[in-house]
Structure 1
Amino acid sequence: MAGSSVIVMGVCASGKSTIGEQLAKKLGRKFIDGDDLHPRANIQKMASGQPLNDDDRKPWLERIRDAAYSLESKNEHGVIVCSALKKIYRDQIREGNNNVTFLFLDGDMELILNRMRLRQGHFMKENMVKSQFETLERPDNEPQTLVVSIEGDISGVVERSAAELLKQQPVEEAS
């Protein structure tokens, strides 16, 4: 059996890192936070309040794609966090990876703005939320893609996400 990756995607403050980490633990999978794969120049640009452009994102998306490929080729299962806002970005990650499922954490701008105001120590700024929603190309009808509402508490989102993933990628849950 080949390895697989779940790419937890969505706009900033949708809960990608928190949900991704808890989901990985629940399913007994390796966790990779895509924020850790950003080149230093990207982090500096975002910290100064500037959104990334496609040229900025290219090396980052290559690192995400390579992480997914590494898991698949080693017969490992992982959860990778990556905003993957545009279809072209998701297609770049899918390139060469047969067992990638995208999990879209879906929430409206008001919910995201409220969460953003509660965050501390993250390089994304509140004024970038609008830019993220403008960039977002919803993955509603894409293959190997699940959409999960982020309404409610984190544990509920993790439970719903795990249930949907286990229907699509049967891997035993960690005890």
Structure 2
Amino acid sequence: MAPNVVVLMGPAGAGKTTVGERLAESLGWPFADADAFHPASNVEKMRRGEGLTDADRAPWLAALREAVRATLARGDHLVLACSALRRSYREALVPPDAPSGAVRFAYLHVSRAELARRLATRVGHYAPPSLLDSQLATLEEPAPEEGIAWIDGERPVPDVVAALVALLRG
């Protein structure tokens, strides 16, 4: 079964938004960036260079799960860019009544050096490059039993999108 929702995950700088926008365009699906779902208190905390706690993330994850639930209830599709750094966060994004395979995760794997390079040149985002260490400390890379596709996020964006499209149609 082809998924209704694809979640592109990884730490800040992995390319989730860039790849997600292009993937959504390629598939003809809507795109959403999880950053837009953060409450103002989380945005201010990150703007100050402070990492988020699980308590900070709880309402954010609940809002994202609701967006996924509503998408599935409509029988619609969505490409969601979301860090989903821990397994528990990934589990929280999937509504308990979601049909098996309706939500598919893809991990954009990027080296620490490349993440740092990208964040140093990123413009217009509230989260400063200093949050990278916090993101990497929180990251639980997907284990094989999670069934999450690992995608080389250092390849050119068109190649990453093509790999994702092939995976989804495969």
User: TM-score surpassing 0.5?
Assistant: yes
Alpha-carbon distance in 1 for matches of 2:2, 2:143: 26
> Structure 1 stretch 119-128 or stretch 137-146: which is displaced more?
137-146
Cα distance, 1:2 vs structure 2: 9.5
1:67-78 matches, within 5 Å, as 67-78=67-78
3-state SS, counterpart of residue 120 of structure 1? coil
Separation in 1, partners of 2:66, 2:34? 11
Identify the match of residue 140 of structure 1 among 143, 148, 156.
143
Structure 1 residues 11 and 110, CA, compared in 2 at 3 Å: closer, same or farther?
same
Deviation at 1:158, TM superposition (A): 1.1
**Distance in structure 2 (CA, Å) of the matches to 1:27 and 1:161:** 10
How far residue 140 of structure 1 moved from its aligned partner, in angstroms, is 3.3
What is residue 66 of structure 1 aligned with on the other side?
66
3-state secondary structure, aligned to 1:102: strand
Higher mean C-alpha displacement, 54-63 vs 135-144: 135-144
> In structure 2, do the counterparts of structure 1 residues 4 and 118 end up closer, same or farther at CA, with 3 Å as the change threshold?
same
Work out whether 1:46 is the aligned partner of 2:49: no
Deviates more, 1:95-104 or 1:49-58: 95-104
The Cα RMSD (Å) is: 1.6
Q: Secondary structure at the residue paired with 2:144? A: coil
CA contact (8 A) 1:20 1:31 kept: yes
What is the DSSP-based 3-state SS (H/G/I as helix, E as strand, rest coil) of the residue aligned with 1:80?
strand
Map of 2:92 onto structure 1:
92
Q: Distance in 2 between matches of 1:140 and 1:162?
A: 22
Matched, 1:83 2:83: yes
CA distance in structure 2 between the aligned counterparts of 1:141 and 1:2, rounded to whole angstroms: 20
* Contact 1:49 1:124 survives alignment (8 Å): yes
Q: Distance in 1 between matches of 2:29 and 2:86?
A: 26
Question: Residue 156 of structure 1 corresponds to which residue in structure 2?
Answer: 159
- Structure 1 SS opposite 2:136: helix
Task: Count residues in correspondence.
Answer: 167
Tell me the equivalent position of 2:8.
8
- Change in CA separation of 1:13 and 1:75 when aligned onto 2, cut-off 3 Å: same
Mean Cα deviation higher: 115-124 or 139-148: 139-148
- Asked if the contact 1:3/1:72 (under 8 Å) is kept, the reply is no
**Contact conserved, 1:14 with 1:105, CA < 8 A, in 2?**
yes
Among all aligned residue pairs of Structure 1 and Structure 2, give the percentage whose two residues are the same amino acid: 35
- Amino acid in the other structure paired with 2:42: N
